[in-house]
Copies of this chain bind each other. A is one copy, B any other.
Amino acid sequence: MTRQNTPAPLTEIWRGSLLESQHHGHAVVCNGKGEIVHSWGNPDQVIYPRSSCKMVQALPLLTSGAAARYGLNSEQLALACASHNGARIHVDRVSRWLDQLELSEGDLRCGAQMPRDKEVMHGLIKTDDSPCQIHNNCSGKHAGFLTLAQHLGAGPEYVEIDHPVQQACHEAFEEVTGETSPTYGIDGCSAPNFACTVTGLARGMGWFASAHTRSTRSDEAAVQLRAAMAQHPELVAGEGRACTALMRDMGGKVSVKTGAEGVFVAILPEQELGIALKVSDGATRAAENAIAALLVSLGVLDKDSPSAKAYMSAAITNWNGIHCGEMRPAAELQF
């Protein structure tokens, strides 16, 4: 494979009267039966969901009985699905979670990352401290992995591809996407990230969105996870982040999640719809713009809400605060 198959226009960057840059990609909306309701670009494009599938990776934590055994609350479930800012609200809760497991920061395998949260980052800089693994945006997911590993009595190297934790994630991933994953990559946090088509990812989100209409253990887990995300938008990302802002503005009715390299997904339980999109060039700004446009088009996000204004019709200003241009969704995304 050497070239993406006909990606569709997603996002336009205007400066003055000129279209300065443009993003293309693939987007699919699936219903609860896994049928495509809308699509743009190539629905069969194989992608890595990256962090957008954290709610899928969290399923075995619940279906195994680990979450119940350790009495995990909705905040912990939201953190298991999070790419967080490393703010105090995140770091403190993950620290307590590790305490609960009688484990420590050194048991994580996600690597140390400078947190995005300004207060915590500036605090580290002011004291010449280095960030630790708890600051890593994936530390909640990894606390979930450690909980499952402990529940299963499995070894400490929980990010290895043949570890029971990752085998369980693999199985859950193929179940909800309805596909055999053709390959996997190593993610930023060292966990395997299984590939699927954009349709497979949208099908998985449609499965989450319709889980309340079914009653298996997996379905109950899906309802718990999507509700935890929507209930704690600040834990899933943090201040100034698209996931948090969009979920707040949709009043707990929709769960959304970003992934690296331009992926975004959404779970719409009332409509029993799932969305997945991938920006071909990997740009986060376009993924945020396109998901906001699709949420507005599907009637779950008010076009005058703060997050729609921030991400869908975003003003581009310069160092003096002068309005230089704007980011707009392609006309095709507005239906």
Query: Which A residues fall within an 8 A CB radius of B?
Result: 1-4, 9, 12-13, 15-24, 46-48, 109-113, 122, 125-126, 136, 183-190, 195, 261-262, 279-283, 286, 318-322, 324-325, 331
CA distance A12 to B112 in the complex (A): 27
Say yes or no: A17 contacts B183, CB within 8 Å.
yes
- Determine which of B125, B283, B319, B325 lies in contact with A189 in the assembled complex, contact meaning CB atoms within 8 Å: B319
- Determine which of B13, B125, B185 lies in contact with A20 in the assembled complex, contact meaning CB atoms within 8 Å: B185
Q: Which DSSP category, helix, strand, loop or mixed, fits chain A's interface?
A: loop
Say yes or no: A261 contacts B16, CB within 8 Å.
no
CA distance A167 to B300 in the complex (A): 49
Say yes or no: B122 contacts A21, CB within 8 Å.
no
Min C-beta distance of A232 to chain B, whole Å? 24
Closest to A324 in B: B186
Oligomeric state, in number of copies? 2
User: In the complex, which residues of chain B have a beta carbon less than 8 angstroms from the beta carbon of A13?
Assistant: 261, 282
- Determine which of B1, B23, B136, B325 lies in contact with A319 in the assembled complex, contact meaning CB atoms within 8 Å: B136
User: In the complex, which residues of chain B have a beta carbon less than 8 angstroms from the beta carbon of A23?
Assistant: 281
Say yes or no: B320 contacts A281, CB within 8 Å.
no
Min C-beta distance of A284 to chain B, whole Å? 11
User: In the complex, which residues of chain B have a beta carbon less than 8 angstroms from the beta carbon of A19?
Assistant: 1-2, 4
Min C-beta distance of A80 to chain B, whole Å? 18
Say yes or no: A21 contacts B184, CB within 8 Å.
no
CA distance A202 to B172 in the complex (A): 52
Say yes or no: B261 contacts A20, CB within 8 Å.
yes
Min C-beta distance of A200 to chain B, whole Å? 14
CA distance A209 to B23 in the complex (A): 33
Closest to A24 in B: B281
User: Which of A112, A113, A320 has the most chain B CB atoms closer than 10 A to its own CB?
Assistant: A320
Closest to A183 in B: B17
User: In the complex, which residues of chain B have a beta carbon less than 8 angstroms from the beta carbon of A324?
Assistant: 185-188
Min C-beta distance of A3 to chain B, whole Å? 6
- Determine which of B22, B186, B261 lies in contact with A281 in the assembled complex, contact meaning CB atoms within 8 Å: B22
Closest to A262 in B: B21
Q: Closest 9 interchain pairs by CB? A: A111-B319, A21-B282, A16-B185, A15-B185, A111-B320, A281-B281, A186-B324, A188-B318, A125-B125
User: In the complex, which residues of chain B have a beta carbon less than 8 angstroms from the beta carbon of A188?
Assistant: 318-319, 324
Min C-beta distance of A217 to chain B, whole Å? 31
CA distance A189 to B47 in the complex (A): 37
Q: A13-B282, A281-B283, A283-B283 are in contact. List 12 more A-B contacts (CB 8 A).
A: A2-B331, A21-B262, A21-B279, A21-B281, A24-B281, A110-B319, A111-B321, A122-B125, A186-B322, A188-B318, A188-B324, A190-B319
- Determine which of B21, B125, B318 lies in contact with A261 in the assembled complex, contact meaning CB atoms within 8 Å: B21
